[in-house]
Amino acid sequence: MGDELNRGLEGIAVAETRLSYIDGEEGELIIGGFPLAELAGNATYEESVFLLLNDRLPTATELDEFRADLAARREIGSEVRDVLRRAAEADEPPMDALRMGVAAASLGTDVDSNESAAKRAVAVFPTVVATYWRYRQGEEPVSPREDLSHAANYLYMLNGEEPTDAAVRGLETYLNTVVDHGLNASTFTARVVVSTESDVVSAATAAVGTLKGPLHGGAPGPVLDMLREVADGDDPRAYVQAKFDAGERLMGFGHRVYRVRDPRAAVLSAAAESFYEESGDTEFFDTVQEFEDVAVEMLADHKPGRRLETNVEFYTAALLHGVGIPKDLFTTTFAISRVGGWMAHCLEQLADNRIIRPRSHYVGEKGRTWTPAEER
Ligand code: ACO
């Protein structure tokens, strides 16, 4: 025990959680006790977060109070706006701006209680992202509105106008779908940070840095580029073949854990379908579905024996594009959802904490003797 090396901690369980369960062979994802399909299209994002924090759904009164509580924590001060304006002027990428903004947004707020700081983190992420984005577009930020839901307010702050119900429902389904996913890298990071009895804002900041990496949060942007090329007239078969011939991977397909179609893809595909139907623009979505069929069939021939199916990023791109999230904000929008999971994991870790402190195998020299600098 202890001598075996596990690069990447693959297959190692380091925490007990009631927050989410993944069965990669069966394609099953449970969030807060609900099969994903049961939760994602029914809940508001506020209900999902309440569920993760409290292990039950809120009553109607509790939901009103929770909504109001989160909404009252959305504002950022002028010092945070300054940071975000400068980040936008310096062309800092959105995830870097989010990291800076989240760190700055803890200035002057009550982070004494982890519960309170966790709610502040969830509430303030959309304001940070939207404020940065408005500056990036050369526009003044739009202040948050307390009367709008979490999802509606994010779209409102981005565009300066109230979103349609269809767009809010589409975004809300997305936010619920990716709010938690086992001990992924950013969630693990958050738990490591609080396991030292550091605070949840530090955990959120570190988790944003982890999610930024292309191996974790970065695929939906390239998926949208691909879908647009096909929608603009490229033949899907020729497109896929050209990728294979170039030795490239097809974005939005394959997953480390799932050996079947990612269950999140089914939920997001249904949400995207109803969104595009309601908005009367089915042409793009038809292309997306045709492309999936062609790609899965061709991947089966390309890599026989390795089931490569659609992952979450494929329909994320289609859905977020539809509801009006700019491609550059796909990963920050992922963070706006996942911060709910990060915060719930932090509180769960703290409730029964043991510092996360793995070991390493030493492969360096031993017994070196000192040579003074002038003699080296
Ligand atoms: N297109 C073409 N070939 C692929 C793809 C793909 N999307 N995915 C895997 N393969 C091939 C690999 O090249 C490999 O072939 P080889 O054995 O000849 O080298 C074989 O299938 C097995 O692949 P692995 O590397 O074992 O797959 P792994 O489980 O490590 O990777 C990953 C999973 C990173 C998601 C991969 O499928 C991939 O790069 N997909 C495209 C990028 C993408 O969509 N990323 C978002 C993932 S969703 C998420 O993480 C939130």
Question: Based on the domain organization, do 335 and 274 belong to the same domain?
Answer: no
For residues 165-190, average pLDDT: 97
327 neighbors 281 (Cβ within 8 angstroms): no
Which residue puts its alpha carbon closest to atom 39 of ligand 1? 249
14 in any annotated domain = no
pLDDT at 321: 95
* 116 Cα to the center of ligand 1, angstroms: 39
Model pLDDT for residues 24-63, shown as the tens digit of each residue: 999 999 999 999 999 999 999 999 999 999 999 999 999 9
Backbone angles phi, psi at 40, to 5 degrees: -60, -45
Mark whether 201 and 224 lie in a shared domain: no
CA atoms of 103 and 121, how far apart (whole Å): 10
For this structure, is 313 an active site residue?
yes
pLDDT of residue 255: 87
- CATH code (residue 74): 1.10.580.10
Same domain, 206 and 146: yes
Q: Is the CB of 258 under 6 A from ligand 1?
A: no
Distance (Å) from CA 265 to ligand 1 centroid: 16
Distance of alpha carbon 271 from alpha carbon 318, whole angstroms: 10
**168 and 233 housed in the same domain:** no
Those residues whose C-beta lies under 8 Å from the C-beta of residue 221, and which sit 6 or more positions away, are 317, 327, 328, 330, 331
Predicted confidence at residue 111, as pLDDT, reads: 62
- Using the mean position of ligand 1's atoms as its centre, give its distance from the Cα of residue 298 in Å: 14
Gap between the Cα atoms of 56 and 53, Å rounded? 8
What percentage of the chain exceeds 70 in pLDDT?
A: 98
Mean pLDDT of 208-225: 87
Domains of the chain: total? 2
CB-ligand 1 contact for 313 (6 Å cutoff): yes
- C-beta of 308 in contact with ligand 1 (< 6 A): yes
> 298: Cβ below 6 Å to ligand 1?
no
220 confidence band (pLDDT: 50, 70, 90): confident
Residue 221's pLDDT is 82
Give the pLDDT score at 101: 97
Q: Are 67 and 149 in contact (CB under 8 A)?
A: yes
pLDDT on residue 322: 95
Give the per-residue pLDDT at 92: 97
Active site residue 4: no
CA 157/CA 151 separation, integer angstroms: 10
The confidence score (pLDDT) of residue 1 equals 52
- The verdict on 298 and 193 lying in the same domain is no
Alpha carbon nearest to ligand 1 atom 3, residue: 249
Domain range enclosing 231: 220-323
State the CATH number of the domain containing residue 234.
Answer: 1.10.230.10
Instruction: For residue range 77-97, list pLDDT tens digits in order.
Output: 999 999 999 999 999 999 999
- As a whole number of angstroms, the distance between CA 132 and CA 304 comes to 45
Residue reference for tokens 């309170």: 116
Q: Are residues 108 and 25 in the same domain?
A: yes
Report the distance separating Cα 188 and Cα 341, nearest Å. Answer: 11
Quick check: 108 pLDDT over 80?
no
Q: Which atom of ligand 1 is nearest to the CA of 262?
A: 48
154 and 77 assigned to the same domain: yes
- Beta carbon of 254 within 6 Å of any ligand 1 atom: yes
- For ligand 1, the distance from its centroid to the CA atom of residue 30, given in whole angstroms, is 24
Which residue in 46, 273, 313, 348 is the catalytic one?
313
Question: Using 50, 70 and 90 to split pLDDT, how confident is the model at 214?
Answer: confident
**Could you tell me which residue, 138 or 221, shows the higher pLDDT?**
138
Give residue for tokens 């999140």: 264
Are 55 and 195 members of one domain?
yes
